[in-house]
Amino acid sequence: MAHQLSLFVENKPGKLYKIMQAIMGKNIDVKAFTIASADTFGVIKMLVNEPVRAREMLKEYGLAVALEDVVVVEFTNMPQGMFDITAIFAAEAINIDHAYCFTLGSDDKALFVIETREMAKITDVLSGKGFQVLSDAQIYAL
Amino acid sequence: MYWNGKMETLPRGALEALQLARLKETIKRSVEAPFYKDMGLGDYGIDDLSDIRKLPVTTKQDLRDAYPYGMVCIPLDELVRLHSSSGTTGTPTVVYHNINDINMWTELVARCMYMVGVRASDVFQNMIGYGLFTGGLGLHYGAERIGCLIIPTGPGNTKRQLKFLKDFKVTVIHVIPSYALHLADTLESMGIDPKKELAHMRIAIVGAEPHSEETRRKIEEFFGMDAFNSYGLSEMNGPGVAFECPYKNGMHIWEDAFLVEIVDPRTLEPMAPGELGELIITTLTREAMPIIRYRTKDLTALIPEPCRCGRTHQRIKRISGRSDDMIILKGVNIFPIQIEDVLIAIEGVRRNYQIILEQKGHNDHMIIRVEIDPALFQGDLKALEGLRARIMRELRDEILITPEVELCEPGSIPLAEGKAVRVIDKREL
């Protein structure tokens, strides 16, 4: 099981900069982030190495931040890999709350980050079909 | 030109003698109310109007504490009506009337309306709320006494309002200022020039909300009619306390019914004539529920000079503010404490908040800014949206108005050092 940070921010200029100021120069590596907004506020999700340490830094900076469980699954060969994973979700009737994808480095490896209410089931199903579900340490070892 | 010429032009000496007699009568009557019973009001020795200063003041909180019947000084079966304040904290403030009170209130409103030119031949569309709110029924009774044809629409349903204005050739309207401006906007967007197509409209009575000279000017110019400022408060019946005459320079306050003081809100010492202070009113004719020295919290000044209209009753200036933190929005009275009470009971937000009042177009609206509680933040956008919806719903139940709610980052709202800091009023009054 991997973790992501979820931050509450007002929907105003300079907010991402404020977050980056909190972690800059402290060996926090940001692999990916997404922003979802609801008019005057939003939530930023970040995948970082050392999420627990990063959370403390952001907290000290006065931000509202939560640590969330996510399933991170590795796949290759876009779009075939994506096709295979989504076919499994469809067949197993797994609903996703929030997700994002990103590629790693120059090879065709990609990571799919998934938030769902069925964490255990999704992990079992994906592992059973031969996909690798990664931990925080494994993500940053890639 | 006068509804009650004798009373409206009563020489000052006679008017003050009448006030003194009625004040004594009022004190005698008030001690029958449980609230005033043990205050020894009869022992103060009132020989002169200025002796009123010896008496204790009555506050809105007193009226609440006396809920439900503690201020009533007549047998309950003689009561014929009650009105209750809008959007109050927990306990409402209730005012009771017997039939003489209703008649006197009606007389005062009729005076006001007749003063600005309303006659029996007028068609009067009353666009202010009926029901517990005093505005609708107050003007309704006054207009009926004069003999107008009344269209009791109440507020809202702009399309129907406009249809009636046109079809019934309405000549007089009663409206809150922001709604008058909203009507103007609507007409403009429909390409209707009221000066041509609604030329029969001639008088707007504008009340229930503070508004500026600028707003009056806009209403008058757009509709091509005269707009008059009305002052009232539910504790003093409602509308009909003070009203502008055709000279539109201050509002005549009916001194045969109300004894007026202007005091320093901190010390309660009288202000010099013409100086700004808090308006304190004692009822002089109320039978069911006399109120002694009621602190209105409204800031104004007396205009001591006689008015060209010939009425001897003094004028007060446009209300320039409040000596407490009450907010008046869309005719509803709101105290920040009500908002605070709602927010405190909701998990997920902290206690620090701000109330911002703005105008969007011609509509006043309220924005509540509140910080989320970082300890309870789960990271979920949907949960935040749910939290915001819940705050809006609960505030709406409490203050009768749906505010916008902005969730803010912890620590982003300046800590309030005084009550006033919490309220940022950007409206142009």
Cβ-based contacts of B373 with chain A (< 8 Å):
64
Question: Do the chains contact at B408 and A10, CB–CB below 8 Å?
Answer: yes
Could you give the ipTM of this predicted complex?
A: 0.80
Mean pLDDT across A120-131: 92
Rounded to the nearest integer, the mean pLDDT of chain B is: 91
**Is 70 exceeded by the pLDDT of residue B110?**
yes
| Distant-in-sequence, close-in-space partners of A17: CB < 8 Å, separation ≥ 6 | none
State the pLDDT confidence band at B421, using cuts at 50, 70 and 90. low
Cα B427 from Cα B211, distance rounded (Å): 10
Mean pLDDT across B150-167: 95
Tell me, yes or no, whether B318 and B336 share the same domain: no
CATH number at residue B381: 3.30.300.30
Q: Tell me the three state secondary structure of residue B395.
A: helix
Dihedral angle of Cα B181, B187, B192, B197, to the nearest 10 degrees = -70
Tell me, yes or no, whether B13 and B86 share the same domain: yes
Q: Which of A38, A40, A68 sits opposite B379 (nearest CB)?
A: A68
pLDDT at B426: 82
Cβ-based contacts of A38 with chain B (< 8 Å):
381, 384-385, 388
**Is 50 exceeded by the pLDDT of residue B412?**
yes
Cα B268 from Cα B294, distance rounded (Å): 12
Mean pLDDT across B105-113: 98
Q: How far is A117 from chain B (nearest CA, A)?
A: 12
**Is 50 exceeded by the pLDDT of residue B419?**
no
pLDDT at B46: 92
Cα B109 from Cα B217, distance rounded (Å): 24
Structure confidence by residue, pLDDT tens digits, B323-378: 777 888 887 888 777 887 788 789 888 877 889 999 887 788 899 999 998 888 98
Q: Which two tokens stand for residue B146?
A: 């004069």
Sign of the alpha-carbon torsion through B344, B348, B352, B356: negative
Q: Which of A83-87, B186-190, B201-205, B222-226 shows the lowest per-residue confidence on average (mean pLDDT)? A: B186-190
Tell me, yes or no, whether B70 and B150 share the same domain: yes
pLDDT at B429: 57
Chain A contact for B369, CB < 8 A?
Answer: no
**Is 70 exceeded by the pLDDT of residue B417?**
no
Tell me, yes or no, whether B232 and B353 share the same domain: no
CATH number at residue B211: 3.40.50.12780
Cα A89 from Cα A28, distance rounded (Å): 32
Give the residue from B382, B337, B378 showing the smallest Cα distance to B355. Answer: B337
Q: Residue B15: which H helix or E strand, with range?
A: helix B12-30
Cα B42 from Cα B52, distance rounded (Å): 12
Q: What is the CA radius of gyration of chain A?
A: 16
Residue found by looking up tokens 């930023």 in the block: A44
Task: Report DSSP letters for B69-134, one per residue.
Answer: TTT--S-GGGEEEEEE-SS-SSSPPEEEEEHHHHHHHHHHHHHHHHHTT--TT-EEEE-S--TTSH
Q: Which of A40, A42, A64 sits opposite B377 (nearest CB)?
A: A64
Q: How many CB atoms lie within 10 A of CB B38?
A: 8
Mean pLDDT across B111-133: 96
Mean pLDDT across B27-52: 92
Q: How many CB atoms lie within 10 A of CB B304?
A: 10
Q: Which two tokens stand for residue B113?
A: 């309306």
Residue found by looking up tokens 């309870």 in the block: B376
Q: How many CB atoms lie within 10 A of CB B318?
A: 17
Mean pLDDT across B44-54: 93
B327 CB burial (10 A radius; 0-12, 13-18, 19+): buried
Question: Do the chains contact at A43 and B381, CB–CB below 8 Å?
Answer: yes
Last residue of a domain, one of B270, B302, B324: B324
Q: How far is A34 from chain B (nearest CA, A)?
A: 12
pLDDT at B89: 55
pLDDT at A87: 93
Chain A contact for B392, CB < 8 A?
Answer: no
pLDDT at A106: 65
Structure confidence by residue, pLDDT tens digits, A29-45: 898 999 998 888 999 99
Tell me, yes or no, whether B178 and B306 share the same domain: yes
CB B112 within 8 A of CB B298: no
Q: How many CB atoms lie within 10 A of CB A70?
A: 24
Mean pLDDT across B209-217: 79
Residue of B370, B409, B412, B413 for testing the chain A interface, max A β-carbons within 10 Å: B409
**Is 50 exceeded by the pLDDT of residue A24?**
yes
B413 CB burial (10 A radius; 0-12, 13-18, 19+): middle
Tell me, yes or no, whether B246 and B106 share the same domain: yes
Last residue of a domain, one of B280, B300, B324: B324
pLDDT at B416: 54
Last residue of a domain, one of B300, B324, B348: B324
Cα B236 from Cα B294, distance rounded (Å): 9
Tell me, yes or no, whether B37 and B125 share the same domain: yes
**Is 90 exceeded by the pLDDT of residue B136?**
yes
Question: Do the chains contact at B381 and A36, CB–CB below 8 Å?
Answer: yes
pLDDT at B420: 44
Cα B244 from Cα B315, distance rounded (Å): 8
Q: Which two tokens stand for residue B311?
A: 């009425």
Q: Which ranges of B192-235 would DSSP assign to H, the alpha helix?
A: 194-197, 213-223
Q: Residue B302: which H helix or E strand, with range?
A: strand B302-303
Tell me, yes or no, whether B188 and B310 share the same domain: yes
pLDDT at B88: 46
Strand-pair category, A64-76 with A132-134: antiparallel
pLDDT at A80: 87
Cβ-based contacts of B408 with chain A (< 8 Å):
10, 41
Mean pLDDT across B264-270: 91
| Chain centre to alpha carbon of residue A75 | 15
Tell me, yes or no, whether B308 and B246 share the same domain: yes
CB B257 within 8 A of CB B285: yes
Structure confidence by residue, pLDDT tens digits, A59-114: 888 889 999 999 999 988 778 888 999 999 999 999 998 999 988 776 778 899 99
- In this structure, what are the phi and psi dihedrals at residue B52, rounded to the nearest 5 degrees? -55, -30
Tell me, yes or no, whether B320 and B412 share the same domain: no
B75 preceded by cis ω (within 30°)? no
Tell me, yes or no, whether B316 and B343 share the same domain: no
Length of chain A: 142
- Expressed as residue numbers, the domain containing B400 is 329-425
Going from the N-terminus, what domains does chain A have, and what CATH number goes with each?
2-69 (3.30.2130.10), 70-136 (3.30.70.260)
* Proportion of chain A above pLDDT 70, given as a percent: 99
* Proportion of chain B above pLDDT 70, given as a percent: 97
Structure confidence by residue, pLDDT tens digits, B284-309: 999 999 999 999 999 999 998 999 99
Tell me, yes or no, whether B319 and B365 share the same domain: no
CB B383 within 8 A of CB B202: no
Domain count across chain B: 2
Residue ranges with strand state E in B92-225: 94-98, 123-126, 149-151, 172-175, 203-206
